Structure 1
Amino acid sequence: MILAWQIIYIGGLSIALFLCIMIVSKRKKTMADRILCAWFLFACIHLAFIGWYASGLALKNPQFILWQLPFPFLHGPFLYLYILFLSAQQRYRWRYLIHFIPAVVVLMILTFVLPDVFVRTQSEIKILPQFEAFFQILVVAIILSGLTYVVLSLRLLHAHRRNIIGQLSNTDRITLNWIRYLILGMSAIWVVVIFSDSPQTLYTVVALFIFFIGYFGIRQVGVFSNLSAAHEIYAPSLLKQSWQDVDQAIPAEKLKYEKTRLNESVASLIHGKLNVLMKEQKCYQDPELTLGDLAKRLELHPVILSQVINSKEGKSFYDYVNSHRVEAFKELLLDPKSQQFTLLSLAFDCGFNSKTSFNRNFKKITHMSPSAYAKSRQITFKSLD
């Protein structure tokens, strides 16, 4: 009789292999894609080991027992490095291989230790007493490794969120949720590792995690497909450059640098041109508008535009664009022709791409909900949704 966990076992392993094939088939693979693909391959091997233990076959082939111990030291580094490269926060390339040293060390130790670790009786296989302390330390190290990389990944997520708020005008359809799901899933696995000794339970959670990230990964543009974002996102390191490090096309006589600040008059000139551009061309109506898009229209480097917005507006790029969308929405409310539409349809016309984003930003700027604002202006609509 096939048990429930065995069905999940077959499904999890199959989906992991399928996701690997999807990544390999991508035409233009990034380093993040390669890291994710390698992660899935090692996850498949690890899943096979866990399923082997859960089925009881390990006792029939004791020579392979404990060879799965290096694998838990891989998942944390893979998660961390995948997020690092996906969010363009990396500074080095090959130096990050040091994160895999613990797994290699454990593998080397097991090569010499395992032949002398076990003693077999008629009914079971036992670890010799002199090795028990070593394996207890190893289990603690595995747990600490997992928790450490979850924390490091959360820090990367926080930094990535700050970066995209400085560059994107809508954050609802980007990689934030995908990264959150990865971290959440890994955290759940480590909770099971800490509080459960059942291989079947661990395998079920790992397989469900594979299902989970497979579902949301396919929905996330560019993770398992050849589609890519239409708007370029700059690496955080680029936006941290000083003014004199920026190589841009503005003539030298028009753009004078100080150590880290533009000449005040030039910054004011750029700020004025930006506001005129936003008002006349209504750039904010593009739901996917980015800092790079506006920088290209103004023939500026994104570093310059970002710091002009920060210094002159006292806002991030995200808040600056959404404040224009809110003001445009207010203007539409005053037009009698707008009353035949819903508030949400008007919000979409102004560049918002979801009801959640619209309500959140409108309340943040006006301290009122859109419907309450409309009522305060004695404006009625067929629907206030």
Structure 2
Amino acid sequence: MDWRVVYMGGVFISLFLFVMLISKRQKSTADKILSTWLFFAVIHQALIGWYASNKMSDMPALIGWELPFPFLHGPFLYLYILFLTGQQRQGWRSILHFVPAVLVAIILAPVLGSMSVPEKLGAIAPVRFEALFQWMVRGIIVSGVVYVVLSLVLLRRHKQNVAVQFSNTDKITLNWLRYLIGGMGVIWVVVIFFESAQSLYVVVALFIFFIGYFGIRQVGIFSNPPPAHEVYLPAVVQAPEAEVVADVADVADKKVKYEKTGLTEAEASRIHTALTTLMRTQECYKDSELTLGDLAKTLEIHPAILSQVINSKEEKSFYDYINTLRVEAFKQLLLKPDSQQYTLLSLAFECGFNSKTSFNRNFKKITQLSPSSYVKEMNISVQTGE
């Protein structure tokens, strides 16, 4: 097999994804970061294809300029996840992540300018700069490992935020982020443990194919997402600003439990009662895409306050609270005679679950039984198929 086809395929896929992103309407900051990343990926892949085609001697001035690019991929991965998951604080600091790549480029400018063509082509060992290039390779490895670890930390925080704000997680970007981080991790494993340049080129090209395939399948990455529900940055949900406290009546009698928001026990009870009434009368939990922000908007309170009330009064996260209501609704629905003609999954969808996996996982977590085992134990006649 001619692996040059794979390398050049990576170039065209990167270019295709880049064009898809820049043509996307209403681009977020995360979209702009990803499109910039893909732009540099196109250049990097082109250099790889150029090397693989043994065309270095045609333009020797470009030899060596592939070294700064690996210092870009880690920061782009980290910043993309940071902004996609809403965990950014001060945007101007983001530029500091690219300092190593810029420093490498500045150092390389005089070094590559002083090297002869035979040295660049490897016909003569570049003894003068051998130590420098070795340190750069070590720096590339350190950069890759550090940013993969940092990205995993962001993913972990995002998972916690998802439980705070979302009632269903199957369609959240967790899998997309796992694919990105996992793919980058594989690349750095190849860099560290395999000395073959061909192996690295192949795995980079395959990674581009990989993110292209899953990125196009993931709603909202390369296309415009459907109308969004109310979602807030993690910092907003976890720590409301001081002026938000003024939205809550009578905050003079503060309790330690609610000292972050200045919420009194009486006011927390009132909000909890209003929430319970809302759930009973409007059955909001049946909306499979329900978010904490949706409920907060309906109740006309700050999402951080609502989250705190749910945590303290229900002793659950928003995610567990809503899915507990869905499980209870499902159990009640099972008792109706008309339900016998439907499958367990169709009844689960009626109660707000959006996938079989989510339904089975949450039902077993709450009841300690699988749905089919529960039906058998309760001696309920219902279709158990999908």
TM-score normalised by the shorter chain: which range applies?
over 0.9
In terms of mean alpha carbon deviation, does 123-132 or 10-19 score higher?
Answer: 123-132
Determine the structure 2 residue equivalent to 1:43: 41
The alpha carbon displacement at 1:201 in A equals 2.2
Contact 1:221 1:229 in 2 (8 A): no
Of the candidates 1, 4, 8, which is equivalent to residue 2 of structure 2?
A: 4
Q: Which amino acid aligns with 1:65?
A: I
Of the candidates 207, 213, 229, which is equivalent to residue 209 of structure 1?
A: 207
The alpha carbon displacement at 1:262 in A equals 1.1
Cα pair distance change 1:7/1:248, threshold 3 Å: farther
Cα pair distance change 1:279/1:255, threshold 3 Å: farther
Q: Which amino acid aligns with 2:82?
A: L
Determine the structure 2 residue equivalent to 1:268: 269
The alpha carbon displacement at 1:183 in A equals 0.3
Alignment of 1:298-313 (within 5 A): 298-313=299-314
Look up the SS of the partner of 1:19 in the other structure.
helix
Is 1:360–2:358 an aligned residue pair?
Answer: no
Determine the structure 2 residue equivalent to 1:317: 318
Look up the SS of the partner of 1:362 in the other structure.
helix
Determine the structure 1 residue equivalent to 2:74: 76
Is 1:54–2:52 an aligned residue pair?
Answer: yes
Which runs of 5 or more structure 1 residues have no equivalent in the other structure?
A: none
Percent of paired sites with the same residue: 60
Determine the structure 1 residue equivalent to 2:197: 199
Determine the structure 2 residue equivalent to 1:219: 217
Q: Which amino acid aligns with 1:281?
A: Q
Look up the SS of the partner of 1:351 in the other structure.
coil
The 2-side partners of 1:380 and 1:164 are apart by 36
The 1-side partners of 2:99 and 2:240 are apart by 35
Q: Which amino acid aligns with 1:322?
A: N
The alpha carbon displacement at 1:158 in A equals 0.4
The 2-side partners of 1:337 and 1:102 are apart by 66
CA offsets, 1:105-151, max 9 Å, x none?
Answer: 00000011113345728x95233223111111111110010000000
The 2-side partners of 1:256 and 1:328 are apart by 37
Of the candidates 50, 53, 63, which is equivalent to residue 61 of structure 2?
A: 63
Determine the structure 2 residue equivalent to 1:27: 25
Contact 2:164 2:317 in 1 (8 A): yes
Alignment of 1:1-385 (within 5 A): 3-118=1-116, 120=118, 124-242=122-240, 244-246=242-244, 249=247, 252-253=249-250, 259-260=259-260, 261-385=262-386
Q: Which amino acid aligns with 2:298?
A: R
Cα pair distance change 1:124/1:112, threshold 3 Å: closer
Contact 2:251 2:264 in 1 (8 A): no
Contact 2:245 2:263 in 1 (8 A): no
The 1-side partners of 2:99 and 2:175 are apart by 30
What is the number of equivalent residue pairs in this alignment? 381
The 1-side partners of 2:245 and 2:268 are apart by 17
The alpha carbon displacement at 1:171 in A equals 0.2
Contact 2:166 2:290 in 1 (8 A): yes
TM-score, L = length of structure 1: 0.94
Which runs of 5 or more structure 2 residues have no equivalent in the other structure?
A: none
The alpha carbon displacement at 1:221 in A equals 1.6
CA offsets, 1:222-263, max 9 Å, x none?
Answer: 11112245212210111122573426755x458976642410
The 2-side partners of 1:6 and 1:19 are apart by 20
Contact 1:246 1:303 in 2 (8 A): no
Cα pair distance change 1:46/1:119, threshold 3 Å: closer
The 2-side partners of 1:223 and 1:255 are apart by 46
The 2-side partners of 1:367 and 1:361 are apart by 9
Cα pair distance change 1:138/1:243, threshold 3 Å: closer
The alpha carbon displacement at 1:193 in A equals 1.4
CA offsets, 1:338-365, max 9 Å, x none?
Answer: 1111111110000000000000000000
Q: Which amino acid aligns with 1:296?
A: K
The 2-side partners of 1:13 and 1:66 are apart by 19
TM-score, L = length of structure 2: 0.94
Structure 1 vs Structure 2 CA RMSD: 1.9
The alpha carbon displacement at 1:59 in A equals 4.1
Contact 2:7 2:48 in 1 (8 A): no
Cα pair distance change 1:103/1:173, threshold 3 Å: same
Contact 2:215 2:222 in 1 (8 A): yes
Look up the SS of the partner of 2:3 in the other structure.
helix
Contact 1:243 1:257 in 2 (8 A): no
The 2-side partners of 1:243 and 1:92 are apart by 17
The 2-side partners of 1:229 and 1:179 are apart by 21
